[in-house]
């Protein structure tokens, strides 16, 4: 069983060495690395070449920045492994990541029709704050209900999927945010299963990024496009939860409080998520950052 590790990279040479070091440290060695340079102005290839004696790799360079979805699709097309494993350039894996996932794949009844994902350590300001998600999907549960209403998580750097299924699915390049959500929707439409491995095997770096403000603007401006692309996979309950947790914190305004209360009483979001949105949206920034950590 061979893995193709797909790493999109855009101006992240400051963290890329640590990311690649975590791949080089894998206890299972049958893998290739596909680094997709998404139009960077720095030199990720120079970092990658430092590992030329530690693993096989391919380097793909895009002439202009096209976003993570396009870069991951380019990596999928270049992959030769039986399974592809995604890793963001600012995240890291634990050494046993591929070995543990390989064991689960070997025991799966439908490995080629399953998206495997693991728990992850949430890292903020260099410190682990929580392990997520707590649980996987229930039988028959829609993936967006799981992600938005149950505070589930399928973080991109935890996903492993058969190359054939990845080629059938691909990432949606029509929108430059929430690609992980929409990828899961596309997988769901193939009738594939979602299998969570109850073990944290990666570290998801959630620190402040320079692009967070522009991302917030894109999320608000393109919410209708997201609804359209999600289609029937976005239930009314999940749509309420999405608006409450992704749009209201970016819009603010006390007029949104009734909608938050509606989301709570209709069980679209739980008490924990309701309080977290209130804290992050309506408390002063200097205070909310401290308190929000208590609600991870």
The predicted pLDDT at position 217 comes to 67
Query: Is residue 229 domain-resident?
Result: no
Sign of CA dihedral 63, 66, 67, 71: negative
Residue 105 has pLDDT above 90, yes or no: yes
The predicted pLDDT at position 206 comes to 82
Indicate whether 198 and 248 sit together in one domain. Answer: no
Q: What is the mean pLDDT of the chain?
A: 91
| Tens-digit pLDDT profile for residues 126-162 | 888 899 999 999 999 999 999 999 989 999 999 999 9
Residue 177 has what DSSP assignment? S
The predicted pLDDT at position 103 comes to 98
Q: Which of 167, 190, 205 is the last residue of a domain?
A: 205
Query: Is residue 169 domain-resident?
Result: yes
| Tens-digit pLDDT profile for residues 244-257 | 999 998 888 888 89
109-120: average pLDDT: 98
Query: Is residue 281 domain-resident?
Result: yes
Indicate whether 53 and 108 sit together in one domain. Answer: yes
Residue 209 has pLDDT above 60, yes or no: no
The predicted pLDDT at position 282 comes to 83
Instruction: Write the CATH number for 182.
Output: 3.90.550.10
The predicted pLDDT at position 124 comes to 86
Q: What angle do CA 50, 55, 61 make, to 5 degrees?
A: 65
Indicate whether 42 and 181 sit together in one domain. Answer: yes
What residue numbers bound the domain in which 243 lies?
235-293
Indicate whether 161 and 282 sit together in one domain. Answer: no
Query: Is residue 228 domain-resident?
Result: no
CA–CA dist 36, 59 (Å, integer):
6
0.85 cut: is pTM over it? Answer: yes
Query: Is residue 215 domain-resident?
Result: no
CA–CA dist 38, 72 (Å, integer):
10
Indicate whether 43 and 112 sit together in one domain. Answer: yes
Could you tell me whether strands 160-162 and 114-124 are parallel, antiparallel, or unpaired per DSSP bridges?
antiparallel
| Tens-digit pLDDT profile for residues 65-100 | 999 999 999 999 999 999 999 999 999 999 999 999
């Amino acid at each position: 069983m061979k893995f193709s590790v797909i790493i999109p990279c855009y101006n992240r040479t400051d963290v890329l060495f640590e990311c690649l070091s975590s791949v080089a440290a894998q206890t299972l060695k049958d893998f290739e690395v596909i680094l997709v340079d998404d139009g960077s102005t720095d030199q990720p290839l120079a970092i990658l070449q430092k590992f030329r004696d530690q693993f096989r790799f391919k380097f793909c360079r895009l002439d202009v920045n096209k976003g993570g979805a396009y870069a991951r699709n380019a990596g999928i097309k270049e992959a030769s492994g039986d399974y592809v494993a995604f890793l963001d350039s600012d995240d890291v894996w634990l050494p046993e990541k591929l070995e543990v996932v390989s064991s689960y794949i070997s025991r799966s009844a439908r490995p080629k029709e399953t998206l495997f994902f693991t728990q992850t350590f949430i890292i903020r300001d260099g410190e682990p704050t929580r392990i997520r998600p707590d649980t996987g999907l229930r039988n028959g549960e829609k993936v967006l209900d799981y992600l938005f209403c149950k505070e589930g998580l399928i973080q991109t750097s935890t996903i492993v999927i058969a190359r054939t299924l990845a080629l059938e699915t691909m990432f949606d390049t029509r929108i430059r945010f929430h690609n992980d959500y929409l990828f899961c929707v596309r997988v769901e439409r193939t009738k594939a299963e979602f299998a969570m491995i109850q073990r944290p095997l990666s570290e998801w770096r959630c620190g402040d990024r320079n692009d967070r403000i522009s991302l917030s603007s894109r999320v608000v401006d393109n919410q209708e496009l997201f609804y359209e692309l999600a289609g029937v996979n976005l239930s009314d309950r999940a749509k309420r939860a999405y608006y409450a947790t992704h749009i209201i914190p970016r819009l603010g305004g006390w007029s949104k409080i009734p909608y938050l209360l509606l989301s709570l009483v209709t069980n679209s979001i739980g008490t924990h998520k309701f309080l977290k949105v209130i804290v992050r949206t309506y408390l002063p920034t200097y205070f909310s950052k401290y308190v929000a950590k208590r609600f991870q």
